[in-house]
Structure 1
């Protein structure tokens, strides 16, 4: 674990791009946009897998380490909620609406809203979910291989049954639980990453490229079929988040993960790009809102890649500039 794994860095970069894709490509508008949207569904599971790969195999994890990680996550959430709240209130003041005293209430609702995936920092749920997983890290890391396997299959079975019930019920049952608290999914992928990582260079899937293409086609086809016909939401086809605990997504993420951790690369570019991913994740939704005023992400052009490209380039450039020119600010806001 002492040597940097550029395969994981590359994987995190592409997962970060996929997160942006989930929020810019629009399902149900055009066939290409819908296909790309569901193809990006591997993003969040891969982030948990990459974290599990390192944290479950590093050894010496105790609650003091967990406490430091939790404090860091909370600091980042508080800082982002503060900036967003002040910016929001200033915007209202400039238009003659609201007053400066409302900063505290906006901050409270923003920070609390991030826990429940609502409000101005709704995508902050990911940090809360990661924090919940961290709380159990010493326990998980001390499990035997058999214990980790048993726990993984327990969570996978629960998720698979719930996903099947959603298809039968005709509605994604997971939607009743905010993503923060869908812990069976996050533990499942966290454990899967930790279990697969020691098998790099040992478990080689024959014709891995072909396997990746085939599993991706199957997973996307299943999501489109089930999302439109078996468990559609009121507003249309089901979001990608409701397929994370389905078997096709689990198999796809496992194969993607194995493909990347078996890559032989030491290109430092991937290390650099990977270091920007958390900042890009935290900033990109605000860039989406700004870009959305100029490019309609629901029309065939915007939904087919223009909006995605613009948002991705702007966000990476801003975070890269921040890291180079204001490293202390970058460290405070973007490193967890």
Structure 2
């Protein structure tokens, strides 16, 4: 009997992966000028990628009946193996022998190593360690709502403070440790997992999906306006506590989750989904390859930059997945 796979979650992972690449490739197209252009629009569309990654992970793990420490330690072990392996590879490639590789490995988890995006793994490790205990309290939908409400209020306090101070105070906290935000999205994914998929499909009406799509499409305008007039900072990482972003993130998740997808007819989704973590890992170095080969001195450079980074990353990860050992450190 073939094991059932929720292909909707795979599609969410693929979209989140594309969003991360947009976050890292489109920013340079408008940050220096602070003006609105196509790069600005693409950049802010990528805002929802990190919330979706946490929500998918939360759905998968908190959807389990039991979470044991032995299971969690296995998850943490493979994250550390992946982070360590890639850090050592770059350490050797750069001949960076005057630097202690252990510092680079640990640094990567707090945005100070060779892979600044590995802060995500650092946050995941902290969340994972808390899950066995947290799962005991999350014994009903009501308990989820209680904790989510507390985290929502904490996020709102941060946002109100940002508005008053006219700057994001999250700048004082490394992304790894903005746990009030990451736990919110993680538990939100877990809360959705408490509902039957067919129930979600029936309750999430077509008109709701239309509203979500419209909000998603206009959201770059809203976020750019806030960044320019209120936050005085354009980085999307400071918008994750916004109630608006949380509502749209939830809406995107439910919209994709409630689509009628057939695994046999959409094998490409599973194929790409299996490569998303690898793309997340290596895409920043593909970006550096573009910068060295082509630069940005021609029209359309930033759009091609994003397309090049995404496509080449998927191609390379696809090849790495066929190589023993490498296939394990590009797929968590």
Query: What TM-score, normalized to structure 1?
Result: 0.89
Structure 1 runs (4+) greater than 3 angstroms displaced:
27-30, 295-300
Q: Which residue of 1 aligns with 2:232?
A: 232
Equivalent positions of 1:134-283 (< 5 A) are: 134-142=128-136, 143-144=138-139, 145-197=141-193, 198-202=195-199, 203-233=203-233, 238-265=234-261, 266=263, 267-283=266-282
2:26 is paired with a residue whose SS is coil
How far did residue 335 of structure 1 move? 2.5
How far did residue 297 of structure 1 move? 5.1
Asked whether the equivalents of residues 58 and 188 of structure 2 are also in contact (C-alpha less than 8 Å), the reply is: yes
Could you list the runs of 5+ residues in structure 1 that have no partner in the other structure? Answer: 91-100
1:184 is paired with a residue whose SS is helix
- 2-structure distance, mates of 1:220, 1:165: 22
- 1-structure distance, mates of 2:231, 2:6: 39
Q: Which residue of 2 aligns with 1:329?
A: 326
Alignment RMSD (CA, Å) = 1.8
- 1-structure distance, mates of 2:286, 2:293: 11
- 2-structure distance, mates of 1:283, 1:185: 25
- 2-structure distance, mates of 1:281, 1:256: 20
Change in 2 beyond 3 A, CA 1:297/1:67:
farther
Could you list the runs of 5+ residues in structure 2 that have no partner in the other structure? Answer: none
Change in 2 beyond 3 A, CA 1:109/1:152:
same
1:80 aligns with 2:79: no
2:279 is paired with a residue whose SS is helix
Instruction: Give the number of aligned pairs.
Output: 316
Query: What TM-score, normalized to structure 2?
Result: 0.90
How far did residue 219 of structure 1 move? 3.0
Asked whether the equivalents of residues 215 and 248 of structure 1 are also in contact (C-alpha less than 8 Å), the reply is: no
Equivalent positions of 1:84-103 (< 5 A) are: 84-89=90-95, 101-102=97-98
Asked whether the equivalents of residues 167 and 226 of structure 1 are also in contact (C-alpha less than 8 Å), the reply is: no
